[in-house]
Structure 1
Amino acid sequence: MKRVVSLSLGSSLRNKAVQAQFLGQPFSIERIGTDGDSARLKALLRELDGKVDAIGLGGTNLYLSAGDRRYLIRASAEYARIPKITPVTDGYGIKRYVEPEMIKQMDRDTPLKLNGRKVLHVCGVDRWGMAEAMTRLGAKVIFGDLMFALEVPIPIPSIRILKILAVSLLPIITLASTEQLGYPTGASQERSRTKYEKYYRWADYISGDFHFIRKHMPQDLTGKVIITNTVTEEDVKELQKRGVRALVTLSPRFEGRAFGTNVLDGVLVALLKKHPDELTRSDYLDFAEKLNWRPHVEVLN
């Protein structure tokens, strides 16, 4: 049995362990949160090195994107360099290659069309592929990168302007510490402080990383569609309580849980026995096709 462990700076309340089969190969998949404790994360990276088939890095990204350019986050790279034997994945390839295809499938095969819809995409540089796909399918997208990551209350009105800003700012922003990048870690993943409510109200669809979505989401989300990943059964109940019409998760679900992209990246690395940087677009799309990977639409209200 192959083993993939996702180590996260996030809350330990979201820990989960499941067994699953991918392309006939049994896997043990586990998520371990360190509650924002970077020293514990480093210790676990050393402890698991050489003992598992892949390590997913959660609660942070290795890379942020602007079009075809990617920018290495210095603080995350320090974590990724700790294991000397086991490959470390952050989900970049899944986000870049697979998630855009899932958006296209959602638009083509479900009632949730994008043309003319208003979308709040919480962080485009985290999920550029999604952002680009939704824009090309005719959605009116507002990007929340400045608001959700940097707490600067300025929406970005187009992907063109986002790219100009990203190319200018990412070489500097990626030098910041994990804490300065604004991503919820530890206990903050379990809290929500309402902010930027008018943009949530404006949107028909709210998309992107769930922790960013949750970070400032209001109590009333009546009629909204959430397009995301990494949700637990408790998250689904909370979204239903707040009136969300439908939840779309873009990755397979196991025992009620949609694991993060870093886990699925790790599964592919373990199956193909390749370094993450050796994986191609074809590797990712073949993997998704063989798994019959489809967006999962759950009507909540």
Structure 2
Amino acid sequence: MKRIVSASLGSSKRNHKVEVNLLGEDLTIERIGTDGDFDKAKEMLRQLDGNVDAIGLGGIDLYLVADGKKYIIRDAQKLRSVVKTTPVVDGSGLKDTLEREVVRYLANDAKLPLAQKKILMVSAVDRFGMAEALHELGCEILFGDLIFGLNLPIPIHTMGSFKVLAKMILPVVTKMPFKILYPTGSKQEKEPSESYAKHYRESDVIAGDYLFIRKYMPKDMRGKWILTNTTTKQDVDDLRERGVELLITTTPVFEGRSFGTNVLEAALLSLLGKKWEEVTPQDYLDILKKLNYIPRIEKLN
């Protein structure tokens, strides 16, 4: 049986473990949080190295992307450098392939009227594939990268402005301590602030990383759609109570829980039997097709 583990900087309260069979292969898939403790994450990675089939790096990105250019996050590179033999992925390969296809599927196959919706994209540098696919549909997008990443009350309203700004700030931002940019550990459990509730009210669809979405999510989310990745049963219950109409998750649900893209990419990499450097976007698309994968669309209210 193959073993896939996500070593996450996130809260240990979101830990989960399942056994699944994918394309005839038995896998155990596990997510282990380190509550924002970098030293603990490093030690776990050392212990996993050589003892599992693939590692997902959770709660942090190796890269942020804008307009085809990757910017390495310094703290993530420090974590990755600990692992010497086992493949390590952060989900970026799937974000740029799977999530583009998910948007196209929702518009063309599921017939959801996304092009007519106002989209709040909480962080496009984290999910550039999703953002670009929504842009190609003709959606009206508010890019929230400065708001959700740096708590700067500056919405960005065009793809052109986003790309220019990203090229200016990403070389600096990626060298900052990651905990400044993204909620880790117990910060993931804080009650959301409503500082930017206005942007939620003025949008029909809130898209992107779930913890970024939750960061400023108001209590009243009646009629809103959420397009995201990782949600627990508690997250789903919370969204239902807030009045969210539709929840769309881009990664498969195992035992009531959708795992992050880093976990799914690690699992697919183990099935492909290739080195990470050799895997192409088409490889991911082909194996997802074999798995008959479609996004989960759940009506909550």
How far apart, in 2, do the equivalents of 1:277 and 1:218 lie? 41
Amino acid aligned to 2:37 = D
1:12-23 matched pairs, under 5 angstroms: 12-23=12-23
Separation (CA, whole Å) in 1 of partners of 2:194 and 2:112 = 26
Equivalent residue number for residue 109 of structure 1:
109
Question: How many residue pairs are counted as aligned between the two chains?
Answer: 300
| Deviations 1:108-149, CA, capped at 9 Å, x for gaps | 122421112100000000000000111111210001000000
Partner of 1:295: 295
Match of 2:184 in 1: 185
Aligned twin of 2:257: 257
1:277 positional shift = 2.5
Question: Structure 1 stretches of 5 or more lacking a match?
Answer: none
Q: Name the residue aligned to 1:49.
A: 49
**Aligned AA (1:203):** S
Deviation at 1:61, TM superposition (A): 0.2
One-letter amino acid of the structure 1 residue matched with residue 233 of structure 2:
E
1:266 maps to 266
Distance 1:112 1:158 in 2: 23
Q: Given residue 294 of structure 2, which amino acid in structure 1 is its aligned partner?
A: R
**CA distance in 2 between partners of 1:100 and 1:230 (Å):** 17
Identity %: 50
**Whole-Å separation in 2 of the counterparts to 1:140 and 1:277:** 35
Query: Which one-letter code corresponds to 1:294 in the other structure?
Result: I
Partners of 1:177 and 1:115 in 2: CA distance: 36
Distance 1:272 1:280 in 2: 11
Residue identity matched to 2:213:
I
Mapped to 2, the partners of 1:101 and 1:154 lie a distance apart of 29
The root-mean-square deviation of aligned C-alpha atoms, in Å, is 0.9
Cα deviations across residues 144-183 of structure 1 (Å, max 9, x unaligned)? Answer: 0000001111001011111111111111111111122x21
Q: Distance in 2 between matches of 1:2 and 1:71?
A: 31
Secondary structure at 1:115's aligned position in 2? helix
Distance 2:36 2:22 in 1: 31
How far apart, in 1, do the equivalents of 2:80 and 2:150 lie?
24
Q: Does 1:37 align with 2:37?
A: yes
Residue 273 of structure 1 and its aligned partner are, at CA, apart by 2.5
Is 1:200 aligned to residue 200 of structure 2?
Answer: yes
Q: TM-score, normalised on structure 1?
A: 0.98
Q: Which amino acid aligns with 1:282?
A: Q
Distance in 2 (CA, whole Å) between partners of 1:184 and 1:277 is: 29
Q: Distance in 2 between matches of 1:99 and 1:293?
A: 12
User: How far apart are residue 274 of structure 1 and its match?
Assistant: 2.3
Structure 1 residue 200 displacement after superposition: 0.2
CA distance in structure 2 between the aligned counterparts of 1:100 and 1:189, rounded to whole angstroms:
26
Q: What residue in structure 2 maps to residue 156 of structure 1? A: 156
Query: TM-score of the superposition, structure 2-length normalised?
Result: 0.98
For structure 2, the 5+ residue unaligned runs are: none
Aligned to 2:5: 5
